[in-house]
Structure 1
Amino acid sequence: MPSPQSWSTSSASQSPPSHLHRTRFPDVPSIPPPLEEPRIYPGRGTPLNPFVVDWHLNDPEDPYNWSNLRRWFITVQLASTTFAVSFGSSAYSGGLRGVTRDLHVSDEAAILGISLYVLGFALGPLIFAPLSEMFGRRIVFLVTLSLHAIFQLQGAVCNNLATLLTCRLLTGVFGSSPLTNAGAVVSDIWNFRERGLASAIYSTVPFLGPVLGPVVGGFVAENPRLGWHFNFWLMFILAGIALVLGFFITPETYAPVLLRWRAQKLHKMSVGTIYYTTSYDHNQSKSFLQIMRKNLSRPFVFVVTEPIVLLFAIYISIMYGTLYALFSAFPIVFQQHKGFSPGQSGLAFLGIGLGIGLGTASQSFQNRIYWRQMEKSETGRAPPEARLHVAMMGSVLAPVGLWWFAWTSTPNVHWIVPILAGVPFGAGVAQILQSLTTYLMDTYNVYFASATAATVVVRSFCGAAFPLFSPAMFDALGDQWAMSVFAILSTVCIPIPIFFLKYGWWIRSKSVVAYKDTDSEPQPISATVIATRAVEIETFQLDTVPEKETETPTDETAGFTQSPYHRPSVEKEETSMEIPMRHSLVPRDKE
């Protein structure tokens, strides 16, 4: 078997290997046009053994290789969309008095508007996260956000409780898509070294939106010219702006979908005679029903079979549920006990907002820790556990803030003291969510949407339930002991980041889909081989139908090139042959 290097020194008239012969077409030139860029894929191009398309080194279509400016535009747009959706979950709470007065309903019925919205966050990801992994992020994002905006508009003009609650549920269902898919896009476009700050911004916004919602919603509802209906108009405007920005800024980013488009384009260029698949779809089921069943069931499977997802979901749910329980606690503490108006009571959430900002700023220290471990790693990639150092700090700060608030919320204590208690709580929540989110990104890679969907579902159920039983719990136990229950739950969770920092590598090693420390990074093919193949392909002629393989690949060409960053790839087959496929079967005068 001659080496690829020896091909470049052979005569131009030498007959090419038989596997490179193609059927002659009447309007196809015998010599293909020069290659724009040689592409090397494993396989034979047959229906049973198609060429396997994957990313190449420095591939401009790989989202990891897009410019920093473009990726930051996408990240900021996604963060603004997530803010618009999460803001709507709590802005409604500022107008609860107006809802009970104008619709003649009880306080409990009005609070259902909060719970049903967050319940929608639990239902939507079960469908939209798997669909984004099947059809792509962009189409799911645009369709669901459009429906979210439509139902916000319906809520702005409704005048009965049934319509109001229905709109709140449906806006939550369709608004849940950005909560899961935005994080998946961050994972799509930022590699493991760069994604620290981007994921911190994304993961902070779902908590920052609910904090600022009562501040704005309270003052809007107090204004007699606006009223509680205008909160829905405001949410509709925010959703509309996010939709327009998403349409023009955010492209498709999911690697399997982009590679499928490339494979389909190459198949079309070959006039249907050469078959392609992707490294994600190779040897996978082609049945639409089987694919749907597999994708839709994946979040449930992750909760049951992945201890990482289950424990993280429980931890995040406690933090998330506690935050929404404060929507019931703050009116009691600041309106009933301290005489605040609804708008002033909303300002009390600014303490939590300040803490969230400080927690986000601490992510820069986490990034430095991660980069130092990368430099020490033999593979150039730090383990996901390197993301958890700030989470250990946050696991302590969050219960400190809750204990502080619990026992300083009495009427005889100055109002600034319980507000300041929100600073360590907000910082701890931000640090926990940021670290756990990046840990899931590093661990589950392309399945991050399903992994985060599982956590969003569990946390949203808690966020929906906590506001319903919190008022009764505060009445029965009193402010101090009711908040102490949440503080105890948060305190019990302190060991979780420590446990995963020490044993996370072992848990990942037992998983089927999680990243393992033993996973090797794909090695790019040498530039010499690529250049040699580029010269050789220009001498190939399309003469006869291929009969059988006459060449066997050498060890040097047994792999195929990818992005230097880790992505799942197909197992190499001993019988595969790699050839550059950036030639065209279209005559030059028709290109």
Structure 2
Amino acid sequence: MTTAGTHSTLTTDLEKQLQIPAECRGDDKSDADNENQSDELTSEELNKEYQIIDWSGPDDKDNPMNMSILRKWAVTLIVCVSALNLTCCSIIYSSAYEGIMAEFHVQRTAVLSGITVYLIGIGFGPMLYSPLSEFYGRRNIYVFSYVFFLIFQFPVAFGKNIPSIVINRFLSGLAGSASMTVSGGTIADMFPKEELGLPMMIYTMSPFTGPILAPIIGDFIVAFCDWRWVFYVIIIWTGVMLVLVLVLVPETFAPVLLTRRASRMRRETGNEMIRSPAEQQNAERTLLQAMKFSIKRPFELLIFEPIVLTMCIYAAIVLGILYLSFEAFPLVYANNHGFKTQYLGLTFIGLMIGQVLAAVSEPLWKKLYNRLAQSQHGAKPEFRLPQAIAGSILFPVGLFWFAFTTMKSVPWIVPVLATIPVGAGMLLIFSGIFTYLVEGYKPYSASALAANAFFRCVFSSVFPLFAVQMYESLGYMWASLLLACLTLICVPGPFLFFKHGERLREKSRFAWTGK
């Protein structure tokens, strides 16, 4: 994401201060700037000739920071719900399994692939939308994304065969992923850093709340309507969001707004020497070059940076278990406790409660961060990891609790309560990992987050494919214990990086050492 200032190189500084999550990046300009340091002299020389414009002051009505509070919050809620819509769509599909299998006479694995390809689409999308938003602005990307996200929902809702449904699920995930890429940037464009806490907290929760709401909504729909109504509801929801974006969401990306102002001033004055800062920086940089950096750098970080790779693997396992739970929970509660279809989704409420509790604990982690920074006479990226450490403990504790309470003799409320630490741990892990990557790889933070998003979505996309078979083969308790043990192995990761991360970063060619 970027600030509402004129220089995108301020992006990572803002991210460092704000604990911005993974899905909140809007561009990757800092990476390309590092790759093209030789262009800086050219830019300085050009500044001597061109008249570079900026915001005119605190009363500049075109500056997104000067919008009314009411409009800022309207835009914030719209982009947050758009991210929630995207991730809700990933799992609400699972509520239609039985209807799809019955109508098309196909095996469950073929139907499950609709979730897998959707997540793969979400993983690839940010690498395309990041450079596009840099050149064309956030609003244009929103509109483009939502139009095609809506279009690709129709072949899913009215599909006549499984290949048609699965292919369009991938295309809809790819098209809709813009809300995960640029929404957080829109929020940071409007709010000064001292006011960003609450809107960013809401946005952080949005993509993780979507999958939890999905079975609650979807299971109620299929309990009383045909399975296709699951996708009719998504079409209606997406259509409403598209209208809201068109009517209420303005362009907020400062470099694009200033470029438009410069263009208007050139037309009005005839002075061709007027330029915006973005025009100066992009003078010798094409969209193709920007896309090359957007795609290339995340894979370099995954290959050459053990910290990035380890954190990506951990985040992928956590997200994979979340998506696996959407297959496992219905088995446990339907077979052991006799839950009807319309009530199965309610078993995910514990996860949501846990996320809310984790979100409201943010001031505690901020206070701890400041205390560590004072005691060490300076802030370090590793000081963002205590929340991930706490989450890494809560997550397996909840899974072990769930595993040992999946028997029929245990009241259903007990395993539901077990998912509260699971939900809290998940959000704390993601928050700690994302902010650590942003600060630890400051010059390349956008690429670090893109690498995490790509690896996380692609890796976790396969978990739903084997969930039912694993739970039926191993039994509910042993399958859950296997997952708990898998997360238990990951617990030392945040501890080790908290203690030794600085030394590892000093040996890296990408990491930021603060020197």
TM-score (norm 2): 0.81
Q: Please list, as runs of the form range in 1=range in 2, the aligned pairs for 1:61-100 lying within 5 A after superposition.
A: 63=64, 68-100=69-101
Aligned counterpart, 2:320: 321
Deviation at 1:222, TM superposition (A): 1.3
Aligned counterpart, 2:234: 235
- The residue identity in structure 1 corresponding to 2:176 is G
Secondary structure, in 3 states, of the residue corresponding to 1:348?
Answer: helix
- The residue identity in structure 1 corresponding to 2:241 is A
Cα distance in structure 2, aligned partners of 1:304 and 1:184? 27
Tell me which of the two structures has the higher relative contact order, counting C-alpha pairs closer than 8 angstroms and 6 or more residues apart: 1
Aligned counterpart, 2:350: 351
1:463 to 460, 470, 479: 460
Secondary structure, in 3 states, of the residue corresponding to 2:337?
Answer: coil
Cα distance in structure 1, aligned partners of 2:106 and 2:278? 56
Aligned counterpart, 1:560: none
Secondary structure, in 3 states, of the residue corresponding to 1:158?
Answer: coil
Cα distance in structure 2, aligned partners of 1:205 and 1:430? 11
- After superposition, the Cα gap between the structure-2 partners of 1:233 and 1:391, relative to the gap in structure 1 and judged at 3 Å, is same
Deviation at 1:221, TM superposition (A): 0.4
- After superposition, the Cα gap between the structure-2 partners of 1:200 and 1:385, relative to the gap in structure 1 and judged at 3 Å, is farther
Asked if 1 retains the 8 angstrom alpha-carbon contact of 2:53 and 2:274, the reply is no
Aligned counterpart, 1:169: 170
Aligned counterpart, 1:406: 403
Secondary structure, in 3 states, of the residue corresponding to 2:281?
Answer: coil
- The residue identity in structure 2 corresponding to 1:492 is I
Q: What CA deviation, in whole Å up to 9, does each residue of 1:335-390 have, x standing for no partner? A: 233332222222211111211121112123234445667889999xx554444332
**What is the total number of aligned residue pairs between the two structures?**
473
Q: What CA deviation, in whole Å up to 9, does each residue of 1:195-238 have, x standing for no partner? A: 44333322222221111111111121011xx2211110111122
Q: Please list, as runs of the form range in 1=range in 2, the aligned pairs for 1:189-228 lying within 5 A after superposition.
A: 189-190=190-191, 193-223=194-224, 226-228=225-227
Cα distance in structure 2, aligned partners of 1:114 and 1:294? 29
Q: What CA deviation, in whole Å up to 9, does each residue of 1:392-448 have, x standing for no partner? A: 221211111111112221233222221111110001112222333344555667965
- After superposition, the Cα gap between the structure-2 partners of 1:364 and 1:70, relative to the gap in structure 1 and judged at 3 Å, is farther
Aligned counterpart, 1:115: 116
Cα distance in structure 2, aligned partners of 1:137 and 1:428? 32
Aligned counterpart, 2:302: 303
- The residue identity in structure 2 corresponding to 1:137 is R
Deviation at 1:275, TM superposition (A): 5.3
Deviation at 1:266, TM superposition (A): 4.9
Deviation at 1:322, TM superposition (A): 0.3
Cα distance in structure 2, aligned partners of 1:500 and 1:184? 28
Which has the greater radius of gyration?
A: 1
Cα distance in structure 1, aligned partners of 2:363 and 2:55? 30
Cα distance in structure 2, aligned partners of 1:342 and 1:187? 41
Moved more, 299-308 or 416-425: 299-308
Aligned counterpart, 2:470: 473
Q: What CA deviation, in whole Å up to 9, does each residue of 1:4-59 have, x standing for no partner? A: xxxxxxxxxxxxxxxxxxxxxxxxxxxxxxxxxxxxxx988859954555668758
- The residue identity in structure 1 corresponding to 2:102 is R
Cα distance in structure 1, aligned partners of 2:456 and 2:260? 35
1:433 to 422, 430, 435: 430
- The residue identity in structure 2 corresponding to 1:76 is L
Aligned counterpart, 1:104: 105
Cα distance in structure 1, aligned partners of 2:271 and 2:259? 15
* Residues 1:422 and 2:419 are matched in the alignment: yes
Aligned counterpart, 1:153: 154
Aligned counterpart, 2:393: 396
- The residue identity in structure 2 corresponding to 1:176 is S
Cα distance in structure 2, aligned partners of 1:139 and 1:509? 40
Cα distance in structure 1, aligned partners of 2:422 and 2:488? 12
Cα distance in structure 2, aligned partners of 1:322 and 1:439? 22
Asked if 2 retains the 8 angstrom alpha-carbon contact of 1:406 and 1:480, the reply is yes
Q: What CA deviation, in whole Å up to 9, does each residue of 1:59-118 have, x standing for no partner? A: 845555655544433322211111111111111212211111122212222222222222
Moved more, 99-108 or 295-304: 295-304
- After superposition, the Cα gap between the structure-2 partners of 1:423 and 1:177, relative to the gap in structure 1 and judged at 3 Å, is same
Aligned counterpart, 1:312: 311
Cα distance in structure 2, aligned partners of 1:280 and 1:376? 43
Structure 2: gaps of 5 or more residues: 1-41
Cα distance in structure 1, aligned partners of 2:350 and 2:213? 11
Moved more, 234-243 or 496-505: 496-505
- The residue identity in structure 2 corresponding to 1:257 is V
Aligned counterpart, 1:139: 140
Aligned counterpart, 1:533: none
Cα distance in structure 1, aligned partners of 2:203 and 2:276? 33
Asked if 2 retains the 8 angstrom alpha-carbon contact of 1:335 and 1:345, the reply is yes
- The residue identity in structure 2 corresponding to 1:197 is L
Asked if 2 retains the 8 angstrom alpha-carbon contact of 1:388 and 1:497, the reply is yes
- After superposition, the Cα gap between the structure-2 partners of 1:70 and 1:509, relative to the gap in structure 1 and judged at 3 Å, is farther
- After superposition, the Cα gap between the structure-2 partners of 1:185 and 1:297, relative to the gap in structure 1 and judged at 3 Å, is farther
- The residue identity in structure 2 corresponding to 1:165 is V
Cα distance in structure 1, aligned partners of 2:345 and 2:479? 20
Q: Please list, as runs of the form range in 1=range in 2, the aligned pairs for 1:549-560 lying within 5 A after superposition.
A: none
Cα distance in structure 1, aligned partners of 2:133 and 2:45? 28
Cα distance in structure 2, aligned partners of 1:55 and 1:146? 32
- After superposition, the Cα gap between the structure-2 partners of 1:45 and 1:432, relative to the gap in structure 1 and judged at 3 Å, is same
Identity %: 36
More helix by share: 2
Q: What CA deviation, in whole Å up to 9, does each residue of 1:131-174 have, x standing for no partner? A: 22333222112101111112223322223222222222222111
Structure 1: gaps of 5 or more residues: 1-41, 519-591
- After superposition, the Cα gap between the structure-2 partners of 1:166 and 1:368, relative to the gap in structure 1 and judged at 3 Å, is same
Cα distance in structure 2, aligned partners of 1:516 and 1:270? 46
Moved more, 469-478 or 227-236: 469-478
Cα distance in structure 1, aligned partners of 2:409 and 2:454? 40
